[in-house]
Structure 1
């Protein structure tokens, strides 16, 4: 007996939702926005666009499928099934937020406001997402749609804890002050004191890594599907006991960066979500490399 296919619609609270939570009434929210040169109509319009996009995408899910909805804040408590089709309605960052919880499921990124802030991960307006769902329904269990496998980055602690990210991972002090550790890459090791290590994918090459690479003369960065990672040490500090010769490079598919912690506490977090992190103590090892899983994103 075949399993019933399920669509999982992922969304996040809108700015209007957050404003009403904070200010209790529309009148108070409107006053707050007006003091900052904005209008409630603008915020309401964006809210309505997101709500309508969610309604339209949910309505296009084939009748024989199950449908579940999950808000971004509940992702770490939601169990995805291997046969799920994940419909992400929002901005690029929401696709990155959900990627770490997936392992091969098809993701359809849906832009509720096409043309307003063009993204690279929310590739479909609502009509395009509806067509993808139609193609999957017509093809049955064996249906496929064009997609790209985007490289992810993976961190593993010596106690078995692990973390995945779509854009980049940060290893360093929780307040971004000086972190002390030994870095090992490609047979070389160096004791360092720095603002942390950034290891990024080609998808993340337009963000944090791009900023660092630009400041260092424009190092070439991997593409989103390349099985390679760019890595940068931030603000390495030269001293009699810490070096600055091992500060940037590229990790291939089989390479790893080994960080041995020499501070009381460091953290590892991905895609800018500091609340979802691994805590690492003195003497622990962190291994960072190309993940064995990818994000399968409908093109």
Structure 2
């Protein structure tokens, strides 16, 4: 029996083909551009068809259980999720991450629409699993993993959450200027920006930073150097790590505070010295940023709530 007092929020994304049609106006024009450059247009068509068929199948199954609201990822930042909603994200890992940061204790089910195409670390379920999984979640009979989120709060009241990571720096490829403050230590820096990583993001940007530092150290020292975080960095870890990218030491800037830990009693403060183009964004979504220019101070901390990912 369908329960119309409950609602599923089904979050979808545009396929590669849909994004290209939006850019070039027609499917025929997209086909010409892809094939003219030596690409396989058929692959775009197959992916698009499979994704839309999966969405239709999942929508039909959800509608048998409760009401369904379909949301495009472009609009989730402006959508108010009800407290009792159950959220289903159908897409790649990035869609799950970008959805989690707009939720407040609503459970999220990640569905891999094309397991042959996508690895889906955050997408444990296949389309055929959905009917069983959503019924178990609906009846509170399914377990979940807690995901620690990072939070950036400005002195003007603006804030932003990060599921994988938060970037603080310049919008363009020029040096960011700022002052770091932690544990009563201040340091003026010039760098390519600061990355704040969560446990969930430890296999992403954070991992690549450690790999790069390891290879550079190996090349400079002439012996193999392997770097890793000093303790296990789980998805629900009650701490974050910050790393400074390409710090530049000079008469006015230093490079001693380039890696550190943020926890519940030890936040990181950053004062912007950038007259323009300073930004803070999360999870690789550069378009969804808050300005971080001279006069702004950001406090980087652990978010008050955790994301809930159904497993």
State the number of aligned residues.
294
**Whole-Å separation in 2 of the counterparts to 1:72 and 1:87:** 12
Measured in 2, the distance between the counterparts of 1:294 and 1:183 equals 26
The aligned counterpart of 1:219 is 228
Gaps of 5+ in 2: 215-226
Q: 1:218-273: per-residue Cα shift (whole Å, max 9, x none)? A: 23172222111111011111111111011002222332110011221321111111
Q: Which residue of 2 aligns with 1:270?
A: 282
Distance 1:54 1:19 in 2: 20
Conserved? CA contact 1:87–1:107, under 8 Å = yes
Secondary structure of 1:292's match?
A: coil
Q: Residues 35-58 of structure 1: CA distance to partner in whole angstroms, max 9, x if unpaired?
A: 232233211111111111111211
> Structure 1 residues 55, 254: closer, same or farther in 2, change over 3 A?
farther
The match for 2:309 is: 297
- 2:103 aligned with 1:102: yes
Q: Kindly tell me: are residues 23 and 190 of structure 1, through their superposed partners in 2, closer, same or farther at Cα, counting changes over 3 Å? A: closer
Query: Unaligned 5+ residue runs, structure 1?
Result: none
Partner Cα separation in structure 2 for residue 31 and residue 224 of structure 1 = 44
Greater shift after overlay, 92-101 or 16-25?
16-25
2:294 alignment counterpart: 282
Shift of 1:3: 8.5
235-244 vs 113-122, greater mean Cα deviation: 113-122
Contact (CA 8 Å) 2:4, 2:67: kept in 1 or not?
A: no
Q: 1:245-256 counterparts in 2 under 5 A?
A: 245-256=256-267
CA contact (8 A) 1:100 1:164 kept: yes
Are the counterparts in 1 of residues 4 and 66 from structure 2 also a CA contact under 8 Å?
no
**Are the counterparts in 1 of residues 178 and 271 from structure 2 also a CA contact under 8 Å?**
yes
Q: Secondary structure at the match of 1:267?
A: strand
| 1:258-298: CA deviation from partner (whole Å, max 9, x where unpaired) | 00112213211111111111112313210001111211001
**Alignment correspondent of 2:206:** 209
TM value normalised by structure 2: 0.89
The match for 1:238 is 249
- The residue that corresponds to 1:258 in the other structure is 269
Normalised by the length of structure 1, the TM-score is: 0.93
CA contact (8 A) 1:176 1:196 kept: no
Aligned to 1:60: 61
| Aligned 8 A contact 1:153 1:289 in 2 | yes
Counterparts in 2 of 1:1-299, with a 5 A limit?
4-61=5-62, 63=64, 65-137=66-138, 139=139, 143-217=140-214, 218-220=227-229, 222-265=233-276, 266-299=278-311
